Amino acid sequence: MPVLPVPQFKALPPLSLYVHIPWCLKKCPYCDFNSHEIREQGNQALEDDYVKALIKDLETALPDIWGRRLSTIFFGGGTPSLFSANAIDTLLTAIRMLLPVEHFAEITLEANPGTFEAQKFADYRKAGINRLSIGIQSFNRQHLQALGRVHDDQEAHRAVEIAMKNFDNINLDLMYALPRQSLQEAQQDIETACALGVTHVSAYHLTLEPNTLFHRYPPKLPDDEQAAQMQEIIELTAANHHYRHYETSAFAQTGKESRHNLNYWLFGDYLGIGAGAHSKISFADKIVRQMRYKQPKEYLSRAHAGDSLIQTQQQLTIDDRGFEFMMNALRLSSGFDTVLFRERTGLPIAAVQTQLEEAEQRGLLVHDHLRIKPTVLGRRFLNDLLQIFLPENNPAG
């Protein structure tokens, strides 16, 4: 079998920066993110150490992204709003000194209602944060308790009120199919979120992830049929409030889609700094994935010692490129331009032609030489659609 030439990129994709802050007030029983309960809130020494480590991390990563411009920045966690506005300001100043940042770059901070103070969020805005993503999860007091959240329904409303005084671009995270949640309660949550007039709402199906308390001690959840009904109600309610359902779990007012997440879904590049952060970086002839050391203590000690912060690094195979592109881009309701596949993977669309034809025959997507997009059926059965593109299903692989 002839050895295929390594695909070359004519141009590199847009680049985003993800900054991981791994601490939170309390570990939620459903959460499988790299987050750790903070033992002492307002620990200035820990905050200062971690900010220094993040800046060192970014400095060390510069050779991989030299000369490239940041289109978005995202502070995720954990609960980044546990850090002071001064810490965020210090980080953003360092980022701008080290890398060119687009003039109107989207800069998002994740925040949880238990950390809201009016002055603090005014200061975040002054520091350069221009988009807020608030982890509401539910406006129902009983469901918040069942989810182990540190805030109640009143604090959820208060958080949105404070946010809207300082920001004009706000996302609310909701969850549905919660323990003992009724159809009416799921509808009430999405109605409340939309009525508040925020620019973006994300609605995630609660799943029992391994290595979580809920996985070890499963609560009683709505069955698949009830969860599907909840999803339909959420989509209909959001549409009635003029939110466009542009991605599997995301709803936005016109022009307010998450630019950071769109870059992920369209197989753009992102540098992740911080404990456990992931990166995907393209070079002229390869795509590399990296992961930083996960445990905050180890990450900090390695940064302090000047050791490498990258725990794992791997190069994507040709087959992986096609699958990973599809795994992300087919989450978008409107699909993607066909030419983007070659631009972001270096491969001709013919590399997945057999899978495209199978998916179309099964009614899961439609495609032509200009655009590829999932059908309503494909969006509803997204896992079935993505499985078609798994590398083991690639006859050329």
* Residues facing 250 on adjacent strands: 202, 247
Model confidence band, residue 42 (pLDDT cutoffs 50, 70, 90): low
Nearest to 17 by CA among 87, 95, 80: 95
pLDDT at 40: 64
More confident: 27 or 296: 296
Q: Is the pLDDT of residue 48 over 90?
A: yes
pLDDT at 4: 53
Contacts of 236 (CB under 8 A, 6+ apart): none
pLDDT at 357: 96
pLDDT at 3: 47
pTM (predicted TM-score): 0.94
- Which pLDDT tens digit goes with each residue over 140-149? 999 999 988 8
* Residues facing 290 on adjacent strands: 279, 313
Q: Is the pLDDT of residue 138 over 90?
A: yes
- Which pLDDT tens digit goes with each residue over 216-266? 888 889 999 999 999 999 999 999 999 999 999 999 999 999 999 999 999
Q: Is the pLDDT of residue 396 over 50?
A: no
Domains of the chain from N-terminus onward = 15-263 (3.20.20.70), 335-393 (no CATH)
- Do residues 296 and 22 touch, judged by C-beta distance below 8 A? yes
Contacts of 336 (CB under 8 A, 6+ apart): 266, 329, 371, 372, 373
- Which pLDDT tens digit goes with each residue over 329-369? 999 999 999 999 999 999 999 999 999 999 999 999 999 88
Model confidence band, residue 150 (pLDDT cutoffs 50, 70, 90): confident
- Which pLDDT tens digit goes with each residue over 77-114? 999 999 999 999 999 999 999 999 999 999 999 999 98
- Which pLDDT tens digit goes with each residue over 15-40? 999 999 999 888 887 787 788 888 76
Q: Is the pLDDT of residue 394 over 70?
A: no
pLDDT at 118: 85
- Do residues 111 and 156 touch, judged by C-beta distance below 8 A? no
Whole-number percent of the chain with pLDDT over 70: 96
